[in-house]
Amino acid sequence: MNVQDGIQTHRAFIALGSNVGDRVEMIEKACLELDRAGIKVKRTSSLFETTPMYVLDQGTFLNGVCEVISPKNTLLSSSLLFGSNVNSQKVETTLAPMGLLDALQSIENTLGRMKLIDKGPRSIDLDILLYDQEIFSHERLNVPHNLMLERDFVLRPLCQLIPHERPPQSEKNSKTYMDYLKALPPPEPTPYSTTPISPSFPTIYATDPKRNTHVMAIMNLTPDSFSDGGKHVPSDMTYITETVRDFIAHGATIIDIGGESTRPGSTPVGAEEEIARVVPAIKHIRTSIPEASKIAISIDTYRASVAEAACAAGADIINDVSAGTLDPEMLPTAARIGKSIILMHMRGTPQTMTQLTDYPNGVIPSVAAELRERIEAAEEAGVRRWRIILDPGLGFAKTQPEDLEILRDLSRLRETEGLDCFPWLMGPSRKRFIGHITGVKTPRERVWGTAATVSASVAGGADIVRVHDVHEMWQVAKVADAIHRV
């Protein structure tokens, strides 16, 4: 038992599973219901695509684990808010394990779970794995969960949350949960972490070694971007149509739309102007360009109000260069509207970041530590781990040697504890460090240098490359995939 803000609380870990219908939606609804019931979802694991056990003739599962904090005394609603016809009843519980079990089963029932076959298909499955450090036995419940140490699909996500903890009442020299996971035979097929984007866009499997790299095309609807400022005029829908069609024809699967430059020393324009630039373009793409129905749209903004307006217009991803540091409402907004968000590493603001490039502990450990802090902030705001994409921020509060070190050691950054299983975006396109190395002063002429950085990004494990020169970089990524993604 813990004490939080003067209130006694319990910490529990709950397994999440679904293999019927929209699995991500069902798991996300279950997490919302936990929060509504006063059982705060503190952290989540990734969601892993796993094959079924026992009853093999059923669809693949999404499995994950969440850490929850529940107060000692609370009121739980047994009819929750997704069209249930059951009359709302409040049941007081101390949230001992049995009270928590009742709450979970109430949520399962509200979300329409029907258990027709033991260990068979189910739209939602919520199981208590751990409850504080208690050992508890009842005909309806055993804690720790009886088979959790034998199941990869339980231990894999659990180890993202508490890899170095030990089962209840274990000796200090006994095995950790990570030790138990490593001792299991490798599952076949390997479970892959999943990052949903939209119903019409393929899920990103960041741990699948055979995945293809997504090409994100840059569309800056700004007059002052460092490379293509003024090229795409927000009011010229004919030009936007032609540009989007060209992007798609040449391999782009994501279009990143921005209404304010974040180049070093850029001048902010304000939310209203930014919305006026991006929202009409996004609406136009979604309503008037049939070819764009299966591509994802990303909104490049650090303002919550712009992100929300853009997503309401049809954007699928929020791309925040500040990872939520420049607008305190960004992370709660992303959580509330349920969109995936790119958290980029940056220090300061676009106006000050060039003065914040000191990394005495090394750029890789420092970026890793600072990104972990932003992940924690996102989770505290309610953003689920499977909705997060990471970006090390090439050119943002980095010197040329630091940019090169990130490109050289991206795989080490990706494999750092706490950063594993996330998708990664790399944005090296036409950056200043390429010009310094090559002597090419004009950003639009840095195509060959950019090609080298895109190839290095794919080799390091990037899932998305953000580029200006779509046709050329699609070819680079395609060949790099053929070399490295085997």
Catalytic status, residue 466: yes
Decide: 221 and 230 in contact? Cβ < 8 Å. Answer: no
Decide: 135 and 19 in contact? Cβ < 8 Å. Answer: no
Question: How many C-beta atoms surround the C-beta of residue 98 within 10 A?
Answer: 16
Decide: 368 and 419 in contact? Cβ < 8 Å. Answer: yes
The vertex-35 CA angle with 73 and 23, nearest 5°, equals: 135
Helix, strand, coil percentages (3-state) for the chain, rounded to 5, are 35, 20, 45
* Structural element, H or E, at residue 468: none
Integer Cα distance of 35 and 26 in angstroms:
14
Pick the closest to residue 28 from 16, 12, 14, 39 (CA basis).
16
Residue labelled with tokens 């030790």: 179
Decide: 344 and 393 in contact? Cβ < 8 Å. Answer: yes
Query: Looking at 303, 398, 431, 446, which residue is catalytic?
Result: 431
CA distances from 14 to 40, 54, 97, 101, 195 (A): 12, 21, 11, 10, 20
Rounded to the nearest 10 degrees, the angle between the axes of helix 330-337 and helix 304-313 is 20
Catalytic status, residue 115: no
Contacts of 195 (CB under 8 A, 6+ apart): 203, 204, 205, 206, 340, 386, 387, 388, 389, 422, 423
Instruction: Tell me phi and psi for residue 106, to 5 degrees.
Output: -65, -40
Query: Looking at 408, 466, 478, 485, which residue is catalytic?
Result: 466
Instruction: Tell me phi and psi for residue 161, to 5 degrees.
Output: -100, -45
Integer Cα distance of 450 and 446 in angstroms:
6
Decide: 202 and 192 in contact? Cβ < 8 Å. Answer: no
Q: Which residues are catalytic?
A: 431, 466
